[in-house]
Amino acid sequence: MLAVDCSLSIDDGEFRLQAEGTAAAFTDPAVLRAITGGEAGAIAVAYLQWAGPHEQRLAIPWTRIDGRASAYRFSDQFRRQPRAFRGDATSIGSAVDFARQVFQRNPFRGVRRTIDISGDGVSNAGRIPPRARDDAVADGITINALPILSEYAGLDRYFRDEVIGGPGAFVLPAPDFTAFAQAIRAKLIRELA
């Protein structure tokens, strides 16, 4: 589950950098090798946009990627998604809770379930992230994070302490939005390898 922050702190240009970076990552040869080189030779992926407590939208439902053609289709679909929110609140806990519900409707059986949450700020509304994280981990879901460090010093520590959880959970920060593409590529390879 790719859970992408669409709160007010992210302007339209920064949102596009996230979208373009993620779309490009799925067509990267190293990411494609990691996808097809696993035990199943495929992954299921969904795309969630989120902002405040009542602002979550499943932009792309669960999609099977099992090679170059399906990866390019997903990448094109990801790139075309309009921004769903410009909410002034940031509710990481609500995004995690929503993602848990989407996992319950996943038609694919996977060996691992992971929420990839990216954002540039701390949660300031809705359910507190540690409670949502603990519920997700109890459901067998791992949460990894890609904090974008352009707004808050120490945001990577916040995500490490308050957001991530589950077996092998990790934080991979991007120094700013221009570095997002490289960071999401590295993050996907690490998760899929």
- Per-residue pLDDT reduced to its tens digit, 139-181: 999 999 999 998 888 999 999 999 999 999 999 999 999 999 9
Superfamily of domain 6-192: von Willebrand factor, type A domain (3.40.50.410)
The domains of the chain are located at 6-192
Q: Does residue 117 register a pLDDT over 90?
A: yes
Q: What is the pLDDT of residue 67?
A: 96
Residue with tokens 């990577």: 156
**pLDDT band, very low/low/confident/very high, at 91 (cuts 50, 70, 90):** very high
| Residues 114/1, Cβ–Cβ less than 8 Å | yes
Angle between helices 155-162 and 129-138 (to 10 degrees): 50
Please state, in angstroms and rounded to a whole number, the distance separating the CA atoms of residues 7 and 78: 18
